[in-house]
A and B are shown apart, each in its own frame.
Chain A
Amino acid sequence: MINNTLYDLAIIGAGPAGMSAAICASEHGLKVALLDEQANFGGQIYKKLYQPSLKDESILGPDYYQGRVLIHQVQKSKIDCFFEASVWQVTYPEKSDSTLEINLSIKQQGQQLKARKLLIAAGAQERPTPFPGWTLPGVMTCGAAQILLKTSAMTPASPLVIAGSGPLLLLIAAQLHRAGVNISGLLDTRPKGRYVEALPHLAAALNNLPLLAKGLALMAEIKKANIPIYKNVTELTALANPSEHLEQVSFKTGNQHQEITCRTLLTHQGVVPNVQLTRALKLDHVWHQNQTCWHPVKDEWGQSSHPDIYIAGDASGITGAKGAAHTGRIAALKITQSLAKISSYQLAKLAQVPTKKLAKETCIRPFLDKLYYPAQTFLTPEDDTLVCRCEEVSAKDIRHMVKQGCTGPNQTKAFSRVGMGPCQGRLCGLTVSNIIAEESRLTPDEVGYYQIRNPIKPVNLSELIDLAK
């Protein structure tokens, strides 16, 4: 066992939300445990920032290095940090106000940690983007390429093509260009009309001018870089050479068929909350139409449908790194008040600043959500596209199961093992729910999501045995 400490607060995820919450709670006298499955602080956004790999800081840009402030603060505070700590189950007793038990593996040793309150700051993942050929070696996500830049100062093999939609796609294109990578094509997969659809939300977005200006600067930088840009791309397909490695990307612009030879294809269609733990805990979730994904239900303090469990950062809905830090602080303040360390009056007063700052970060989201809304083919792909990478189940298979009478994702599991491979539905859950909804003319909320089972990460028997010692 780690120790017999009963923590006031355990935080899962040491990204901007988790770090901010930990600093704030610890400042108010709470005994805090901060857990992350990575080797150190930062989450995905500030990954490896504690010891940056890239010599040239202009490649990733100042937004990345700004995270240093938060990392220095958290390093100085009195928080028990556990890294390479993979949480695979959280249990809670029937009645509230008793101890939560967190089962995890730290450096491959089974451990248990007890806490009075839990904050889930597990971040986001990239939206699954199924299209023909997306499983080929050589095809990766834009997020993956950015992670490799941050952790290892590595750039993908060229010729390189980037395809999809979203702010991260533009950012990685600019970052790779700064790193000297030749980009053979930037394929914008959005259909015509996204600007018109986003327009009604522009007025609200204007409340965050600095972020809008940053976006425009990024687009100008890409334009100046002379990267060939293809708009309204359809029928994106990755094609392989005889040794099953990516060799070519084919697509259509209008009626014109196009091909680009490449060794790496990076794709992206936005990010969605990582709901694996909130689902396994059977917390309530609600479908968010603009972000086309589920959010865990939470109140303005981040309190979930369980009174002792809070959610902050992108795990509770996409607000970006800055917004995540504010939600972390707000949740930490409420938790501090619920443990009677501050009064309700103090809570209201202390929460004013982060709440105001959060509003500035969230006001731009509806605009961005509409502007980069994925093309329908990435939500409900064509029949031949593989949906479940692990168990190799196609969109056609899912549609066939619906015709046979499957009413929800859990039934399709029983028929085909879809979602039952090692990723436990992380890369097919949204697609399967979307396809079933479309085929049965229901909403995704009516169709529902996979029942996520514990353990949410693979565990060795020896790690279970460790718990009994």
Chain B
Amino acid sequence: MPNALPFNRLETNSDTWVTLYIEDQAIQVPAGDTVAAAILSAGLLPSRTTSISSSQRAPYCLMGVCFECLVTIDGKENSQACMTQVQDGMRVSKQIQSPDLNAADTREAKHDK
């Protein structure tokens, strides 16, 4: 369920829609969207909490400047949601406080092969 009022979608030219999973919830968005737009269209805020005071944050500048939209995308922590294009089947999770340095990084494991 959304925990903030979602953004509204106007009539678009996009005919290809993809499904991604934000906190395991399936969300349909146009193929050209960024992950930050998907989060806002679903109203799934906050998208992170800070490591200092656990205060709640959400995408703010949408142009890669503020780093407020940091989330975990397909296992990669500290990813800028506004600079990442959505892909079908992508898995996104909120970043709560600091990333866990002990968590397995799927991308590193792939590199070792």
State the A residues within 8 Å of B (CB). Answer: 37-39, 44, 48, 51-56, 59, 84, 86, 108, 125-126, 135-141, 143-144, 147-148, 151-157, 179-181, 243-245, 263-264, 274, 389-392, 421-423, 426-427, 458, 460, 462, 465
**Bound complex: CA A181 to CA B43 (Å):** 17
> Do A155 and B85 form a contact, CB below 8 Å, given A53-B13, A143-B61, A392-B50?
no
> Do A153 and B108 form a contact, CB below 8 Å, given A125-B65, A137-B46, A243-B3?
no
Is the pair A423, B65 in contact by a Cβ cutoff of 8 Å? yes
Is the pair B40, A153 in contact by a Cβ cutoff of 8 Å? no
Given contacts A37-B64, A155-B10, 5 further A-B contacts (CB under 8 A): A38-B83, A39-B32, A154-B40, A157-B5, A421-B67
DSSP majority for the B interface? loop
DSSP majority for the A interface? loop
CB < 8 Å: which of A54, A135, A156, A274 contacts B13? A54
Is the pair A141, B107 in contact by a Cβ cutoff of 8 Å? no
Interface 0/1 of B36-58, CB less than 8 Å to A: 01001101011100101101111
Residues of B with C-beta under 8 A to A143: 61-63
Q: How far in angstroms is the closest Cβ of chain B from A133?
A: 11
**Bound complex: CA A153 to CA B58 (Å):** 19
Is the pair B53, A157 in contact by a Cβ cutoff of 8 Å? no
Instruction: State whether the Cβ of B14 lies closer than 8 Å to any Cβ in chain A.
Output: yes
Instruction: State whether the Cβ of B78 lies closer than 8 Å to any Cβ in chain A.
Output: yes
CB < 8 Å: which of B10, B55, B63 contacts A144? B63
Is the pair B8, A52 in contact by a Cβ cutoff of 8 Å? no
**Bound complex: CA A314 to CA B106 (Å):** 39
Which of B10, B11, B45 has the most C-beta atoms of chain A within 10 angstroms of its own C-beta? Answer: B10
Is the pair A390, B67 in contact by a Cβ cutoff of 8 Å? yes
**Bound complex: CA A59 to CA B41 (Å):** 19
6 A-B contacts (beta carbon < 8 Å): A55-B10, A108-B107, A152-B7, A153-B9, A153-B10, A422-B78
Q: How far in angstroms is the closest Cβ of chain B from A16?
A: 15
Q: How far in angstroms is the closest Cβ of chain A from B60?
A: 6
Is the pair B7, A144 in contact by a Cβ cutoff of 8 Å? no
Q: How far in angstroms is the closest Cβ of chain B from A44?
A: 6
> Do A153 and B11 form a contact, CB below 8 Å, given A135-B55, A422-B67, A462-B111?
yes
CB < 8 Å: which of B57, B107, B108 contacts A137? B57
Which of B8, B47, B57 has the most C-beta atoms of chain A within 10 angstroms of its own C-beta? Answer: B8
**Bound complex: CA A465 to CA B110 (Å):** 14
**Bound complex: CA A458 to CA B73 (Å):** 15
Residues of A with C-beta under 8 A to B7: 148, 152, 154-157
User: Which B51-90 residues have a C-beta within 8 angstroms of A?
Assistant: 52-53, 55-68, 70, 76, 78, 83, 85
Residues of B with C-beta under 8 A to A245: 3-4, 45-46, 56
Q: Which 4 A-B pairs have the closest CB atoms?
A: A157-B5, A137-B58, A422-B67, A144-B62
Is the pair B45, A137 in contact by a Cβ cutoff of 8 Å? yes
> Do A148 and B78 form a contact, CB below 8 Å, given A140-B59, A392-B52?
no
Is the pair B107, A244 in contact by a Cβ cutoff of 8 Å? no
Q: Which residue of A lies closest to B50 (CB)?
A: A392
Q: Which residue of B lies closest to A263 (CB)?
A: B5
Q: How far in angstroms is the closest Cβ of chain B from A80?
A: 21
Is the pair A53, B12 in contact by a Cβ cutoff of 8 Å? yes
Residues of A with C-beta under 8 A to B58: 137-138, 140
Is the pair A141, B41 in contact by a Cβ cutoff of 8 Å? no
Residues of A with C-beta under 8 A to B63: 44, 125, 143-144, 147
Is the pair B10, A458 in contact by a Cβ cutoff of 8 Å? no
Instruction: State whether the Cβ of B34 lies closer than 8 Å to any Cβ in chain A.
Output: yes
Is the pair A458, B4 in contact by a Cβ cutoff of 8 Å? no
CB < 8 Å: which of A147, A392, A427 contacts B62? A147
**Bound complex: CA A138 to CA B11 (Å):** 23
> Do A426 and B5 form a contact, CB below 8 Å, given A51-B32, A152-B37, A392-B50?
no
> Do A39 and B85 form a contact, CB below 8 Å, given A152-B33, A155-B7?
yes
Is the pair A144, B5 in contact by a Cβ cutoff of 8 Å? no
Residues of A with C-beta under 8 A to B67: 390, 421-423, 426
Which of B5, B29, B30 has the most C-beta atoms of chain A within 10 angstroms of its own C-beta? Answer: B5
Interface 0/1 of B17-31, CB less than 8 Å to A: 000000000000110
Is the pair A137, B37 in contact by a Cβ cutoff of 8 Å? no
Q: How far in angstroms is the closest Cβ of chain B from A297?
A: 23
> Do A55 and B13 form a contact, CB below 8 Å, given A137-B57, A152-B41, A391-B52?
yes
Q: Which residue of A lies closest to B67 (CB)?
A: A422
Q: Which residue of A lies closest to B41 (CB)?
A: A154
Residues of A with C-beta under 8 A to B34: 151-152
Q: How far in angstroms is the closest Cβ of chain A from B29?
A: 8
Q: How far in angstroms is the closest Cβ of chain B from A393?
A: 9
Residues of B with C-beta under 8 A to A44: 63
Is the pair B60, A141 in contact by a Cβ cutoff of 8 Å? yes
Q: How far in angstroms is the closest Cβ of chain B from A358?
A: 25
Is the pair B61, A144 in contact by a Cβ cutoff of 8 Å? yes
**Bound complex: CA A388 to CA B96 (Å):** 19
Q: How far in angstroms is the closest Cβ of chain A from B77?
A: 10
**Bound complex: CA A179 to CA B76 (Å):** 36
CB < 8 Å: which of B40, B45, B64, B65 contacts A148? B40
Is the pair A53, B46 in contact by a Cβ cutoff of 8 Å? no
**Bound complex: CA A458 to CA B43 (Å):** 27
Residues of A with C-beta under 8 A to B3: 243, 245
